[in-house]
Structures are given as structure tokens and as C-alpha cells.
Amino acid sequence: MSNDDNQHDFPDEAHALKGSSDHLHIDPLEKKWIYVALGLIGVFVATILYTAFAKHVHPPGEMETIDSARLHLSEEFAEDNLGVVTQADGSVKVTLVAARYGFYPREIRIPAGQPITFRIASADVLHGIHVPMTNMATMVVPGYVSTVTTTFPKPGEYPMLCNEYCGMGHDHMWSKVTVVSRESWQAGNTQTQGR
């Protein structure tokens, strides 16, 4: 008898489901808000695509690892190789080590108005790097090399601050960035070359 009951149950359920979809009713106001929500999603996707393809705004894509405990033995982050270097093509590269409690070297001098590429590694724990009034900001995760290319529009003296809590001395973790005008940068470089 129980088999017979089941045979009757299935058609009933199927009918009930069909019935509910036949009578699906969306309130006009609800429909309007569905379109609003879909429109917003469209705006967000369009914004992401526009900034990605037209403005070249991308999340960091490269993952470069390094042994934080052996930075002093690596070529790039050995103490003698830190600091500001003008490369053959005229671009400026800054190599920094973030360690409790400072960014080394403690003072750097760079030109305004041209892209500067920073390469930063942590020697110990998680640090953050932030130069206020500019868009220079990144995390410095132990085991990884952080690469940032940015342009400092205005000459001046800026602090370079740690913005990830890294220990008791975190408040004092800062270094100095001196941004000079392109003219005095070029003049300074000519002097150095002339020596």
C-alpha cells in the first residue's frame, strides 16, 4: 500500500511546483529594484574594466620571494647595494630594507616628476611603508619583495613611515625622503659624474 501512496505523491508534487512557477508574480516595485541592482553591478564592472585597461590600475601581480633571514647574503639587498641608483636608461631605482625599527638607508634623496621604482624587503616581521601626501604605500611582507613604481610630484622633505604595527618601536619607525626638483637632481648628478 505504501508503494501506491508514493506513486500518487510524485505527480502531486510535480503539479505543485509547476503551479508555483506559472503563478510567479514579481511586484513592479521589486522589479524596478532588481534593475537598479543589476545596473549598479554593471557600473561596478565597467569601473573595474575602465581602470584596469584605460588607467592601468592593477593589483600586484608579480610574486617574488626572498629569504628574509639571509638578506645580507643576497646581492640586491646586501648593505652596500642599498639606496638610490640611477640606471643606464636614466630611471631611478631605490632599494630598501625594512627592519625593526627603520627603513635602511635612513635617508634617501630622489628627483620629483619622474617615476621612481622602489624595491623593498623586510629583514624581520611585517612592515608597511607610507609616505604621507603621496601615493607611495605598500605592505612589506617578510619573504617577499615589494615593488612599487611611483612619481613624487612635489619637491620637499617627507617622512617614510611604517604603518603596520611591528613591535614596541613601531612609533619610531620612520626614515627621511628628500624629493628635489629635476633640475637640481640633474645638476647634482653632473657634479657627481664630474668628480
Minimum Å gap between C-beta 62 and Cu ion is 23
- Applying CB under 5 A, among 162, 177, 179, 180 the residue interacting with Cu ion is 162
Q: DSSP letters of 10-68?
A: HHHHHHHHHHHHHT----HHHHHHHHHHHHHHHHHHHHHHHHHHTS---------B--G
Residues 61-80 touching Cu ion, rule: CB under 5 A, are: none
Q: Report the residue number, 146 or 180, with the smaller CB distance to Cu ion.
A: 146
Tell me: does residue 173 bind Cu ion (CB under 5 A). yes
Query: In the complex, what is the shortest distance from the CB of residue 99 to Cu ion, in angstroms, rounded to a whole number?
Result: 8
Q: Is 120 in the site for Cu ion (CB under 5 A)?
A: no
Is residue 128 within 8 Å of residue 139, measured between CB atoms? yes
SS3 call for 27:
coil
> What is the C-alpha separation between 87 and 83, in angstroms, rounded?
12
Number of residues that bind Cu ion (CB under 5 A): 4
Q: Does 129 bind Cu ion (CB under 5 A)?
A: no
Q: Does 99 sit near Cu ion (CB under 5 A)?
A: no
Which of 127, 145, 177, 185 is in the footprint of Cu ion by CB under 5 A? Answer: 127
The x, y and z cell numbers of residue 81, run together, are 647595494
DSSP codes joined into one string, 134-179: SS-EEEE-TTBEEEEEEE--S-EEEEEE--S--STTGGG-EEEEEE
Residue 96 contacts Cu ion per CB under 5 A: no
Q: Which stretch binds Cu ion (CB under 5 A): 4-12, 32-40, 114-122, 157-165?
A: 157-165
Among 129, 136, 166, 179, the residue binding Cu ion under the rule CB under 5 A is 166
What track of x and - describes contact with Cu ion for positions 37 through 56 (by CB under 5 A)?
Answer: --------------------
Query: Rounded to 10 degrees, what is the CA torsion of 62, 66, 68, 70?
Result: -160
Per CB under 5 A, residues contacting Cu ion are 127, 162, 166, 173
